[in-house]
Chain A
Amino acid sequence: MEDSETGGNGFEPKILIFACNWCSYAGADLAGVSRLQMPANCRVIRVMCSARVRPEFVITALSKGLDGVVVLGCHPGDCHYSEGNYFTRRRGLFLKKLVEYVGIEPERFQVRWVSASEGAKFSDTVAEVTRQVKALGPNRPRPKA
Chain B
Amino acid sequence: MPRTRVGVFVCHCGNNIGGVVRVPEVVEDARNLPNVVYVEDSLYACSEEGLSSIKEQIAKQNLSRVVVASCTPRTHEPLFKDACEEAGLNRYLFEFVNIREHCSWVHRHDPARATEKAKELVRMGVAKARYLEPQEEFESEVFPAALVVGGGVAGMTAALSLANQGIQVYVVEREEQLGGLVREVRTLFPTEQDTGELLGPLIEQVRSHPQITVYLGSEVENIEGFIGDFDVAVATDGQVRELKMGTVIVATGAQELKPLGMYGYSGLPNVVTQLEFEKSFKRGADLPPNVVMINCVGARVPERTYCGRLCCSTAIKNAIWLKEQDPDAKVSVLHRDVMACGVDIEEFYRGAMELGIRFLRYDVQNPPEVLGDRRAEGVKVHHQLMGKQIILPADLVVLTTPLVPREDSERLSKMMKVPVGTEGFFLEAHLKLRPIEFSTDGIYVCGSARYPSSIPESVSQAYAAAAKAAIPIRDGSVRVEAITVFCDERTCSACGNCVEVCPFGAVELQEGRFGRIASVNVMQCRGCGCCVAACRSGAMQQRGFDDRQLLSMIGALADEVVSVGGR
Residues of A within 8 A of B (CB): 12, 14, 16, 21-23, 25-26, 28-38, 40, 43-49, 51-57, 60-61, 64-66, 74-75, 78, 80-84, 87, 91, 115-117, 119, 123
In the complex, A104 Cα to B547 Cα: how many Å? 23
- For residue B78, CB closer than 8 A to chain A, the reply is no
Give every chain A residue within 8 A of B407 (Cβ-Cβ): none
With contacts A38-B107, A123-B106 known, is A116 near B529, CB below 8 A?
Answer: no
- CB-contact partner of B107 in A34, A37, A43, under 8 A: A37
**Which residues of B146-194 are within 8 A (CB) of A?**
none
Knowing that A32-B106, A33-B101, A57-B554 are A-B contacts, what are 4 other residue pairs whose CB atoms are under 8 Å apart, sorted by A's residue number? Answer: A35-B106, A49-B528, A52-B532, A117-B420
Stretch at the interface among B85-93, B108-116, B208-216: B108-116
- For residue B224, CB closer than 8 A to chain A, the reply is yes
Residues of B within 8 A of A (CB): 72-74, 98, 100-103, 105-110, 113-114, 116-117, 120-121, 124, 224, 410, 413-414, 417-422, 427, 439-440, 483, 501, 503-504, 526-530, 532-534, 542, 545, 547, 550-551, 553-555, 557-558, 560, 562
In the complex, A45 Cα to B106 Cα: how many Å? 17
**Residues A46 and B417 in contact, CB atoms below 8 Å apart:** no
Quote the shortest CB–CB distance from A144 to chain B (angstroms): 12
Quote the shortest CB–CB distance from B541 to chain A (angstroms): 11
A23 to B, closest residue via Cβ: B417
With contacts A65-B558, A81-B503 known, is A54 near B547, CB below 8 A?
Answer: yes
With contacts A32-B101, A117-B419 known, is A52 near B124, CB below 8 A?
Answer: no
In the complex, A137 Cα to B427 Cα: how many Å? 39
Give every chain A residue within 8 A of B106 (Cβ-Cβ): 31-32, 35-38, 123
Give every chain B residue within 8 A of A26 (Cβ-Cβ): 74, 419, 439
Give every chain B residue within 8 A of A21 (Cβ-Cβ): 74
Give every chain B residue within 8 A of A45 (Cβ-Cβ): 124, 550, 553-554
**Residues A33 and B105 in contact, CB atoms below 8 Å apart:** yes
In the complex, A8 Cα to B505 Cα: how many Å? 49
In the complex, A66 Cα to B101 Cα: how many Å? 23
Smallest CB-CB A-B distances: 7 pairs: A32-B101, A52-B529, A64-B558, A49-B528, A81-B528, A40-B113, A32-B105
14 residue pairs bridging A and B, Cβ less than 8 Å apart: A29-B98, A29-B102, A30-B421, A31-B106, A32-B102, A37-B106, A38-B107, A43-B120, A43-B124, A43-B557, A52-B528, A57-B551, A87-B530, A87-B534
**Residues A64 and B560 in contact, CB atoms below 8 Å apart:** yes
B422 to A, closest residue via Cβ: A34
With contacts A32-B102, A47-B545, A54-B547 known, is A84 near B530, CB below 8 A?
Answer: yes
Quote the shortest CB–CB distance from B492 to chain A (angstroms): 16
Give every chain A residue within 8 A of B547 (Cβ-Cβ): 54, 56
In the complex, A75 Cα to B124 Cα: how many Å? 27
**Residues B414 and A115 in contact, CB atoms below 8 Å apart:** yes
Quote the shortest CB–CB distance from A70 to chain B (angstroms): 13
Give every chain A residue within 8 A of B114 (Cβ-Cβ): 40
Give every chain B residue within 8 A of A83 (Cβ-Cβ): 503
In the complex, A66 Cα to B417 Cα: how many Å? 31
**Residues A40 and B501 in contact, CB atoms below 8 Å apart:** no
- CB-contact partner of B73 in A12, A34, A46, A51, under 8 A: A46
With contacts A26-B74, A64-B562, A81-B526 known, is A52 near B557, CB below 8 A?
Answer: no
Quote the shortest CB–CB distance from A20 to chain B (angstroms): 9
Give every chain A residue within 8 A of B483 (Cβ-Cβ): 48
Give every chain A residue within 8 A of B545 (Cβ-Cβ): 47-48, 52
Give every chain A residue within 8 A of B107 (Cβ-Cβ): 37-38, 40
**Residues A116 and B73 in contact, CB atoms below 8 Å apart:** no
In the complex, A84 Cα to B534 Cα: how many Å? 11
With contacts A36-B106, A64-B555 known, is A49 near B560, CB below 8 A?
Answer: no
**Residues A52 and B418 in contact, CB atoms below 8 Å apart:** no
**Residues B420 and A31 in contact, CB atoms below 8 Å apart:** no
Give every chain B residue within 8 A of A32 (Cβ-Cβ): 72, 100-102, 105-106
